[in-house]
């Protein structure tokens, strides 16, 4: 049975919206350990690639849908903006869109979430030169996943482990 077991108080206004960093990991079976909606171990994951992003143009939205046939599906959608056109960034954007990487999202509240925890992600990418002087000259990605659960949070141990796996290789 799926019985609701707890309520929620309104609490303090101590949260901030927005994504601070995005980490990509190539898709393979790393044997992540996920229990009670938390990643407690990154398994054999040995490298992630960090992308610093602005909070105002990047957002994660998840929509869980239950059906009369007894199924639950969670649609995860991540909007990413990467400014500055260039060959080195373009090559990485194309690899992200061609692969199905795991994506770790770090927000401004200290949370890290894993998008595509079971099945990896899919992405669409757009390259824009902009028309007016203030327009985006860069890339936008729409990264999606379909999972059986909402994206799990990394616990303190997994967050520390993730930081230790960040590659030193970056694009300009």
Q: What is the pLDDT of residues 125-146, one digit of tens each?
A: 999 998 999 999 999 999 999 9
pLDDT in tens, 57-96: 899 999 999 888 888 899 999 999 999 999 999 999 999 9
pLDDT in tens, 6-24: 887 767 777 888 999 999 9
More confident residue, 25 or 15: 25
In terms of Cβ atoms closer than 10 Å to its own Cβ (0-12, 13-18, 19+), residue 22 is buried
Determine the pLDDT at residue 5: 81
Strands 59-66, 49-52: parallel, antiparallel or unpaired by DSSP?
A: unpaired
Determine the pLDDT at residue 67: 85
Nearest in space to 76 (alpha carbons), one of 125, 2, 142, 17: 142
**Domain boundaries, given as residue ranges, for the chain:** 19-164
Determine the pLDDT at residue 1: 66
């Amino acid at each position: 049975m799926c019985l609701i077991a707890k309520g929620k108080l309104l609490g303090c206004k101590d949260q901030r919206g927005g994504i601070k960093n995005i980490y990509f990991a190539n898709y393979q079976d790393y044997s992540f350990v996920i229990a009670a909606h938390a990643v407690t171990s990154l398994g054999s994951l040995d490298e992630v690639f960090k992308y610093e992003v602005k909070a105002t143009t990047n957002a994660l939205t998840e929509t869980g849908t239950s059906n009369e046939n007894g199924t639950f599906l969670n649609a995860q959608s991540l909007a990413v903006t990467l400014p500055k056109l260039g060959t080195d960034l373009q090559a990485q954007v194309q690899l992200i869109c061609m692969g199905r990487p795991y994506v770790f999202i770090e927000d401004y509240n200290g949370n890290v979430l894993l998008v595509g925890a079971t099945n990896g992600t899919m992405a669409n990418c757009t390259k824009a030169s902009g028309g007016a002087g203030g327009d985006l000259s860069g890339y936008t990605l729409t990264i999606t996943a379909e999972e059986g659960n909402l994206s799990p949070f990394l616990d303190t141990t997994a967050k520390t482990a993730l930081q230790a796996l960040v590659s030193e290789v970056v694009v300009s």
